Amino acid sequence: MTARIVVVGAGMVAHRFADSLVSRAEQDISLTILGEESRRPYDRVGLTRFFDGAGAEDLELDPAVLEDPRIRLVTGDPVAQIDRAARTVRTASGAELGYDHLVLATGSSAARPPVRGAEHPGCFVYRTLDDVEQLKAHVERRASQLGRPVRGVVIGGGLLGLEAAGALQGLDAEPTVIQSSDRLMSAQLDLPAGAVLRRLIEQRGIAVRTRTRTTSVLAGEDGEVHGVVFDDDTVLETDLVVFTVGVRPRDELARAAGLVCAPRGGVEIDPSCRTSDPDISAIGEVASFEGMCVGLVAPGYAMAEVAADRILGGGATFAGYDLSTKLKLSGVDVASFGDAFATTPGALDVVYTDPVSGVHKKLVLSDDAKTLLGGMLVGDASAYGALRPLVGGALGGDPAAYLMPAGGVEAPTAELPDEAVVCSCASVTAGTIRGAVHEEGCTDVAGIKACTKAGATCGSCVFAIKGLVGAELAKMGRSVSTALCEHFEMSRAQLFDAVRVSGLTTFSSVIERFGRGRGCDVCKPVLASILAVLVRGHVLDGENATLQDTNDHVMANMQKDGTYSVVPRMAGGEVTPEGLIVIGEIARDYGLYTKLTGGQRIDMFGARLEQLPEIWRRLVDAGFESGQAYGKSLRTVKSCVGSTWCRYGVLDSVGMAVNLELRYRGLRAPHKLKLGVSGCARECAEARGKDAGIIATAQGWNLYVGGNGGATPRHAELLVEGVDDETLIRTIDRFFMYYIRTADKLQRTAPWLEALEGGIDGLREVILEDSLGICADLDALMAQHVDSYQDEWAATLADPAKLARFQSFVNAPSTPDPDLAYVPERGQVRPASIDERRSGDVLIAGTTLEVRR
Amino acid sequence: MTAQTLDPATAPEASWLRVCRVADLEVERGRAALLGSTQVALFLLPDGSVHAVDNHDPYSGANVISRGIVGTRGEAPTVASPMYKQVFDLRTGACLDTQGKDPAALRVWPVLLQDGDVHLLCGDAR
Ligand SMILES: Cc1cc2nc3c(=O)[nH]c(=O)nc-3n(C[C@H](O)[C@H](O)[C@H](O)COP(=O)(O)OP(=O)(O)OC[C@H]3O[C@@H](n4cnc5c(N)ncnc54)[C@H](O)[C@@H]3O)c2cc1C
């Protein structure tokens, strides 16, 4: 006989329940879902995306689930009554339906506080798609009536209130958040963390009032809301009010049917998710477990799984609530997880606070400081995805390492135990993800999402998932997909050969032949680089101009405020006094901040797009050429002064450095290339930290390759020893070209060499013993590069079509970006911080920067 | 959004502003335009359509979107911010790849192409 299962409520948890039930049921079942809202189940967690342009269709939860023939979905007809004796439900429209098992998934409704006037039409709650549609319409209508930005008051400063305030800002409204307690997000944050959050919220342009209760909403004769009154009798003018003061479980049906409900609301359930009537379960926000209802989706999903399992005869139990949350407000990073308030007896706190940059992090540890119990992260929650799965487990390492500024902490996915929950929204463990890689053949995050639902809800764990998948594939001896992007199945090395062999010369022809679509920010710069080596056109010639990454786009290095820095070449670090004077004059005339680079040359910062050609005109006239500091290409050849001046110098290191820099200048590569030449074994040029390092000895030059400074330092390895100039140069030629031909995108020589078959010995076989028979090709390609070099900036200045691209605005070609602002620092300028702009302490506006000529 | 169906004459409350000529734009290489104090990034696509979105990048706070790489993600025409590489749908302004950050969108302006001129629908009439 078919088991008739009826679900009341068609929200997120009901959808998950349906998915779980039908995907696992082997017996005959029929499932009817009765929803009150007139829509198919949608992503309430992502509701705010509505203000970013997501329509109702975009928010709909996976429709494929409900297409199962065993499922019937009825929308727009709420259940009005349950008859437990007859085991039937009756809907508002009068339909009657029998059940063998009933599941209550009625969620909650948004609470409206007892405030006078809260029923005026300009008052809103923030729970359903209808709510946000009405809110948006109101803001737009009032804005056009009033002819000014609309002001909005959000009452309730929790997660939802802050999200709503952000949404109002997105509608160009000016929000104020009113919180009755002493801090924002008081359910997740303690006082110090709340104080840091408040500053971040205010910096984002959202006004905040704490310890403030609202007593009434004022409306004018036209019925429009125009203010709110607080308990100290002050009035705040506003054009609308959004209440985000909490939710009430929708337990009215259950109460009327005599099911046991908790004193504070919600239908009581046991660990099997059964109510006091064993034929009725309750799941999601309407369910009260151990006296508590929780307004988060992850525990609801866990209950859905339990209820489905029980109906199918399993023995699953609900383990209790995980209250971890992350705020979804752009630019304000906040997360709270586990025992954030340190309520466990003997718990220890480790706190890191940096009030200047607005970061506050706290970890809660067990009394022996070994087990992670929970934490709060404000201002930088990048460690959330890595830390939350570790709750209840050993922290493995110095806790402080997790609190230090971002960048330092690698997600510790490799050591995650199988039972650690990686995605709390869908409650997926590390073991499940590993299983999906092994048994279901998942090879990327998208696959894991489709297969396990991990990472599909809030997305805060995708980096952790990525790490896990990569580690599992590596363990299986499989490499992660080498496809460049959705437009090319090939790796960069394969594509390089495809372009070389086919002789194609343009991006359009390459993507038409070897790829699909129109390309993207991943494949376009890769092809720009490949074409630059094989075809050698100018970076701004024709279609090439549309392929270039950030810096190559205008042949300068973009800085944080969108202006550029300019670096002329100073081969080998040599510069004449006249050259220095010209650079000094240009920097002074354009008010550029000037600094020496690590590569022995001079960087001038703060040049605007439309100033680049004028600046370069003066540089080129003075004999300078592009330094390609912007390119994934040869940067500099650093040198010590060598035998020409130095008492210890063995060979002429500067002469060799200049020689090499002029040979490889402009050579595009998968990543930047740096060289160093030292005149003796003292190694003052730090050449072994470079992609190619050359050190003079009494026997000749030693060449070291694959070195790296930066974040992952590596000493270069000895390739050849005691060679003459000619051999040295030929060896570097081949090393570079072999690297350019075979490396992956954005792979420096150090990891390339590490991954290369046979390592340094393998490299030696290919480029010295010609084991692949490609040396003649490599030599020829480098010879073509050397012969066809042209200064990109001089060529640009000679071409009006290229110059037109440097206009600041198409309708105002020489008007500077009006938003640029600077403050003085140590006798020069730097971009103003957000605070400085807001406080008006900006002393130098970009537009009024005086230019002397 | 080549809103050829939107006719300035039938939308009197909407202020269509002429910004430049289509010929001033290059296929798949953006240009910034200045509307009062607002900066718009204009993109001409291979199909001849023109899209207008914020030049202001919500992730970096800099006015740089017009200098991003134009491409596609699935069916969506996109631009990638040159600063931190978030990818936006040119049709809706929605962020398709937040690079692990929270979602933030670009504003989108309706575009009208008429007699080789690019017009944007400006003001609150949107
Ligand atoms: C803006 C917003 C942002 C959020 N962000 C997050 C977040 O980041 N993380 C997180 O974990 N949670 C978040 N939440 C909470 C999350 O959305 C809820 O926890 C989740 O939706 C609960 O699912 P549910 O199915 O229990 O209830 P709901 O999704 O509310 O679904 C219940 C459904 O039942 C219907 N119903 C009620 N009574 C009846 C009846 N008698 N007959 C028929 N149907 C009925 C209701 O109309 C409703 O459609 C957010 C919520 C909002 C509003």
Dump pLDDT digits (tens) for A649-674.
999 999 999 999 999 999 999 999 99
Beta-carbon contacts of residue A617 (< 8 Å; ≥ 6 apart): A797
A762: how many CB neighbours lie within 10 A of its CB? Answer: 13
d(CA A592, CA A606): 5
**Do residues A749 and A691 make contact, with C-beta atoms less than 8 angstroms apart?**
yes
A722 shares a domain with A672: yes
Q: Evaluate the CA torsion angle A336, A341, A346, A352 in order and state its sign.
A: positive
User: How far, in whole angstroms, is CA A148 from its chain's centroid?
Assistant: 34
Q: Per mean pLDDT, which range of A248-252, A758-762, B55-59, B68-72 is the poorest?
A: A758-762
Burial class (CB in 10 A: 0-12, 13-18, 19+), A10: buried
Q: With a 6 A CB cut-off, is A267 part of the ligand 1 pocket?
A: no
- Residue A533 Cβ contacting ligand 1 at under 6 Å: no
Backbone angles phi, psi at A584, to 5 degrees: -60, -40
Residues A617 and A635 in one domain: yes
Strand A3-8 with A101-104, pairing: parallel
Selected for mutation to probe chain B from A200, A330, A458, A563 (highest B CB count within 10 Å) is A330
Distance CA A682, CA A695 (A): 9
Residue written as tokens 């912007």? A630
Q: A525 CB contacts (<8 Å, ≥6 apart)?
A: A547, A548, A549, A552, A632, B69
Residues 46-105 of A with CB under 8 A from B: 49, 52-54
Alpha-carbon dihedral sign for residues A643, A649, A654, A655: positive
Distance in angstroms between the alpha carbons of the first and the last residue of chain B:
13
The verdict on residue A821 lying in a domain is no
A773, A788, A803: which is the final residue of a domain?
A788
Band of residue B62 on the pLDDT scale cut at 50, 70, 90:
very high
CB contact under 8 A, A805 and B25: no
A243 Cβ below 6 A of ligand 1: no
Atom of ligand 1 nearest to the CA of A163: 1
ipTM of the complex: 0.91
Number of residues assigned to chain B:
126
What is the A48 CA–ligand 1 centroid distance (Å)? Answer: 14
Rounded to 10°, the helix A759-767/A725-742 angle is 110
> Do A726 and A774 reside in the same domain of the chain?
yes
pLDDT band at A428 (very low <50, low <70, confident <90, very high): confident
| Sheet with A828-831, edge to edge strand ranges | A828-831, A821-825, A844-845
| A261 known member of a binding site | no
What would the mean pLDDT of A689-716 be, rounded to a whole number?
91
Whether residue B93 has pLDDT greater than 50: yes
As a whole number, mean pLDDT of residues A674-684 equals: 94
A442 and A402 housed in the same domain: no
Would the pLDDT of A408 be above 50?
no
Question: Is the same domain home to A401 and A425?
Answer: no
**Among A522, A453, A481, which Cα is nearest to A61's?**
A453
pLDDT at B125 over 60: no
Q: Which of A731, A757, A788 is the last residue of a domain?
A: A788
Q: Are residues A227 and A373 in the same domain?
A: no
Residue type, A422: V
How far is Cα A463 from Cα A173, in angstroms, rounded to an integer?
34
State residue A500's pLDDT score.
Answer: 87
Kindly state whether residues A129 and A186 are assigned to the same domain. Answer: yes
Report whether A461 belongs to an annotated binding site.
no
| Statement to judge: residues A530 and A518 lie in one domain | yes
Q: Are residues A227 and A266 in the same domain?
A: no
Answer yes or no: is pLDDT of B13 > 70. Answer: no
DSSP state of A67: G
pLDDT digits (tens, 9 = 90+) for A290-326: 999 999 999 999 999 999 999 999 999 998 998 888 8
Looking at the fold, whether A391 and A419 belong to one and the same domain comes out as no
Q: Which atom of ligand 1 lies at the shortest distance from residue A110's CA? A: 53
Q: Which domain holds residue A178?
A: 123-245
Residue A229 near chain B (CB below 8 Å): no
Protein residue with its CA nearest to atom 3 in ligand 1: A45
**Residue-wise DSSP of A523-548:** HHHHHHHHHHHHT---TTSGGGGGT-
CB A734 less than 6 A from any atom of ligand 1: no
Cα separation, A792 vs A556, in Å, equals: 11
Return the residue whose CA atom lies nearest to atom 35 of ligand 1.
A9
CB contact under 8 A, B27 and A463: no
Report pLDDT digits (tens) over A594-652.
999 999 999 999 999 999 999 999 999 999 999 999 999 999 999 999 999 999 899 99
Give chain B positions within 8 Å (CB) of A330.
58-59, 101-104
* All domains in chain B, ordered by first residue: 3-9+20-122 (2.102.10.10)
The answer to whether the Cβ–Cβ distance between A812 and B34 falls below 8 Å is yes
Residues above pLDDT 90, as percent of chain A = 69
Total domains, chain A: 6
Give per-residue pLDDT as tens, A197-247.
999 999 899 999 999 999 999 998 888 999 999 999 999 999 999 999 999
A408, A420: one domain = no
Q: What CATH number did the domain enclosing A175 receive?
A: 3.50.50.60
Token readout for A295 is 């307004």
Give the pLDDT band (50/70/90) at residue A845: low
C-alpha A732/C-alpha A752 separation (Å) is: 15
| Alpha-carbon span B76 to B96, nearest angstrom | 9
The answer to the question of residue A518 being in a domain is yes
- Which residues, in sequence order, are CB contacts of B75 under 8 Å at separation 6+? none
Q: Does A353 touch chain B (CB under 8 A)?
A: no
Please tell me the total number of residues recorded for chain A in this structure: 853
Last residue of a domain, one of A788, A818, A848: A788
Best to test chain A binding among B21, B44, B102, B109 (most A CBs inside 10 Å): B102
- The pLDDT score that the predictor gives to residue A382 is 81
Q: To the nearest whole number, what is the mean pLDDT of chain A?
A: 90
Going along A111-213, which residue ranges are E strands? 123-125, 151-155, 174-178, 207-209
Helices (H) and strands (E) in chain A, counts: 25, 39
User: Are residues A167 and A230 both part of a single domain?
Assistant: yes
From B27's Cα to the closest Cα of chain A, the distance in A is 8
Q: Which residues pair with A60 in a beta bridge?
A: A42
With CB atoms and an 8 Å threshold, state whether B26 touches A808. Answer: no
Flag if B31 and A812 touch (Cβ within 8 Å): no
Contacts of B93 in chain A (CB under 8 A): 52-53
Report in angstroms the alpha-carbon separations of B16 from A97, A268, A350, A697, B35: 56, 59, 57, 72, 12
Helix (H) or strand (E) holding A229: strand A225-230
pTM, 2 dp: 0.54
Q: Kindly state whether residue A798 falls inside one of the protein's structural domains.
A: no
Can you tell me the distance from the alpha carbon of A301 to that of A286, in angstroms, rounded to the nearest whole number? 13
8 Å CB contact of A520 and B62: no
When mean pLDDT is compared across A226-235, A678-687, A749-758, the lowest value belongs to: A749-758
